[in-house]
Structure 1
Amino acid sequence: MKRFFLSKSLPCAAVLLAAVTTLAAPSALAQAPAWPTKAVKLLVGSPPGGPSDITARLFAEALSKRTGQPALVENRPGAGNNLAAAAAAKAEPDGHTLVLSPDTVLTVNPLVYGNQGFDARNDLVSVSIVASFSQMLVCNPSVGVKTAAELVDKAKSTRITYASGGPGVPGHLAAEMFLQSSGARMDHVPYRGPAPATQAVLAGEVGCGFLATPTVIQHVKAGKLNALAVSAGTPSPLAPDVPTLAKALSQPNLDVSFRLVLQVAKGTPAPVLAAIERATMDILKEPDIRTRLLASDLVVQGSSSAQAHQVMQAEMARWEPLVKRLELKAN
């Protein structure tokens, strides 16, 4: 009797399981987010040609191919990337407006800028850390230094200036971390963006500057600028012979790198956020994307949203003491 009962029960169980699965399938499908359902706008807070813009255009191209929906990059430069971030924060929270910004929008800008009409730390949600990048320390040949050690020695006895694209931008922060770590003193000359800052160093109006490697490498190769160091903990693929600050200053743990963070407006539904996160991580695994970003001195990260949040919390804690010590305020 026991054997007969089991043989009859197994087919019934299988039928019941199939029925439950069939009924559950439409429900599961209904829960899957339909994203994107229209064109995706990807905002960038810097002019064309910078790390954020280069990454955004590669990402948008790949996203469009992957989803079949247009992905359009829109540059809204100004206020240390705040203009683009604010527009994304105020957009409809449906996942169709994204913003790609350097992490300084979260870590530094809230301390530097006055009322911008939004709170980057609370009005935006980080989807993923897309890539990391560094800055290159360059000097006009007229300064007469070819190594970071020579610059440190000379800056202790001679007034030397350095340029940046504005208060609190990566180049400014990298320079101040360099000065703090080395004990040297240099005077900051802020400009309205990295392009005029680069031109100022080229013209000799300002002695040195921490600037994006892709922006200055051509001038280094032409002999118009001397490359002293890169701020990240690893050498730049565009300039492998230029030492890191860690090596130049004999401080192994010194790593002054920055991150590009993909964000959406707070209130974006969790399933949509998960779909964007999944698409981003898949795109950043593509060999062609990784190669093209590396060629622009960008190191692919591809973190999860949770990981991005944890890293940003740590970066806020790292930069806040420096910002407060310098009493950084944007005009």
Structure 2
Amino acid sequence: MTERRILLAAAAALTATRTLHAQEAGAWPSRPIRFVVPFPPGGTTDIVARVYAQRMAQRLGQPMVVENRAGAGGTVGSDAVAKATPDGYAFVMSNIASHAVGPNVYPRVPYDSVRDFTHIALLADVPSVLVVGEASPARDLAGFLFAARTRPVTVASPGNGTTSHVLTTTLARLTGTQLVHVPYRGSAPGISDVMGGTVEAMITTLAEAGRNDRVRILAITSGRRTPGWDAVPTFTELGLPQMTAPTWFGLSGPPGLPDAIADRMSAAALEALSTETVRARLADFGAVPPAHDRAWYAGYVADELARWGKAVREAGVRAD
């Protein structure tokens, strides 16, 4: 009888919890929603988040407050959301660095990229580019690589453990060049030093470099040439298909988020993507507008985690 009472009590508690979640989801959202960007202001992650946050807030009827919480290749801010209460008031801009590259670079990432999140939507796919300053003698990738075979060439990145870091190391390994990785705290200071000549090059997203006439784009990581930048060759065209690597950004919440809330967030993201304003803004930096459901995005994160694990091992990248 005691065992039966325990089972009945457990079933009642589960029913009560589900009822409470349903009630909360029905009233949700009743206050501002926190949208954590795990990188500093001004970078692509921040830009994409703010593009979506403004439009999604209109759909949801509550502000989406962007909170920049940087550190450790995006893992600090991501961990904060992984451990947040699953009540629909904390989300993170999940991305290739925090959910695919970082967990394979940092030895003790405090979350599982798949299990510890409710993945909701892919928001943007943005190609990265190799750029040099306008005063650089390198006019194309061949010239850049020639110089890097004869002497060390400094290459900036947004930080240790980022996609840029892995791609820089991969490029050096594939081409037998002397590329010296110089990590920064975010993309903005790195690209600024490329413009000023403090460092010679950088692999960064097209969002940060595409409309800047003080840098020269030598190659792009997309699988095909990007509309608006049709003159820029892809790494694949130049004989380096291993450098094909779009930088993706998505929306994720903590584990255990009620389906009703996750579905409404997904619908709000897709509605934002359907607007001309958001699509035009994404096109400004070469982003590919996605349109996938929640299950697809969860599977994509898992696939990318495995893919970048292999890339990190081959490149021999370490967090330090």
How far residue 232 of structure 1 moved from its aligned partner, in angstroms, is 1.4
Q: 1:153 aligns with which of 135, 146, 156?
A: 146
Map 1:112-191; keep pairs closer than 5 Å.
112-140=105-133, 143-191=136-184
Residue identity in the other structure for 1:77: A
Residue identity in the other structure for 1:173: V
| TM-score between the two structures when normalised by the length of structure 1 | 0.81
Question: CA 1:84 to 1:302, structure 2 compared with 1: closer, same or farther past 3 Å?
Answer: farther
Q: 2:292 aligns with which of 286, 296, 303?
A: 303
Corresponding position: 1:321 with 2:310: yes
Q: Deviations over 1:3-52 (max 9, x none)?
A: xxxxxxxxxxxxxxxxxxxxxxxxxxx88942323321111112222222
Corresponding position: 1:283 with 2:276: no
How far residue 237 of structure 1 moved from its aligned partner, in angstroms, is 4.2
Tell me the distance in 1 between the aligned counterparts of 2:188 and 2:204. 9
Tell me the distance in 1 between the aligned counterparts of 2:182 and 2:54. 37
| SS at 1:245 equivalent | coil
Map 1:97-112; keep pairs closer than 5 Å.
97-112=90-105
Corresponding position: 1:261 with 2:254: no
Question: CA 1:190 to 1:254, structure 2 compared with 1: closer, same or farther past 3 Å?
Answer: closer
**Structure exhibiting the larger radius of gyration computed from Cα positions:** 1
2:155 touches 2:202 (CA, 8 Å); kept in 1? yes
Question: CA 1:329 to 1:158, structure 2 compared with 1: closer, same or farther past 3 Å?
Answer: closer
Tell me the distance in 2 between the aligned counterparts of 1:277 and 1:218. 31
How far residue 272 of structure 1 moved from its aligned partner, in angstroms, is 2.0
Tell me the distance in 1 between the aligned counterparts of 2:91 and 2:160. 25
Counterpart of 1:230 in structure 2 is 220
| TM-score between the two structures when normalised by the length of structure 2 | 0.83
Question: CA 1:66 to 1:258, structure 2 compared with 1: closer, same or farther past 3 Å?
Answer: same
Counterpart of 1:242 in structure 2 is 232
Map 1:36-75; keep pairs closer than 5 Å.
36-75=29-68
Corresponding position: 1:274 with 2:267: no
How far residue 279 of structure 1 moved from its aligned partner, in angstroms, is 2.2
Residue identity in the other structure for 1:290: R
Question: CA 1:107 to 1:192, structure 2 compared with 1: closer, same or farther past 3 Å?
Answer: same
Corresponding position: 1:330 with 2:286: no
How far residue 199 of structure 1 moved from its aligned partner, in angstroms, is 2.7
> Structure 1: which 4+ aligned runs deviate by more than 6 Å?
none
Residue identity in the other structure for 1:225: V
Q: Deviations over 1:247-284 (max 9, x none)?
A: 2x145685211100210000112222222222222221
Counterpart of 1:15 in structure 2 is none
Q: Deviations over 1:89-130 (max 9, x none)?
A: 121102221111322211121222243544444321211111
More displaced, 315-324 or 125-134?
A: 315-324
| SS at 1:260 equivalent | strand
Question: CA 1:89 to 1:287, structure 2 compared with 1: closer, same or farther past 3 Å?
Answer: same
Tell me the distance in 2 between the aligned counterparts of 1:70 and 1:205. 40
Residue identity in the other structure for 1:283: A
Q: Deviations over 1:210-242 (max 9, x none)?
A: 1232323454x2xx4322111112334453322
Gaps of at least 5 residues in structure 2 are: 1-21
Tell me the distance in 2 between the aligned counterparts of 1:105 and 1:262. 12
Tell me the distance in 1 between the aligned counterparts of 2:76 and 2:159. 15
Residue identity in the other structure for 1:167: N
Question: CA 1:192 to 1:47, structure 2 compared with 1: closer, same or farther past 3 Å?
Answer: closer
2:32 touches 2:64 (CA, 8 Å); kept in 1? yes
Identity %: 30
Q: Deviations over 1:163-204 (max 9, x none)?
A: 111122122233234344444442222222222222332233
Map 1:70-81; keep pairs closer than 5 Å.
70-81=63-74
Gaps of at least 5 residues in structure 1 are: 1-29
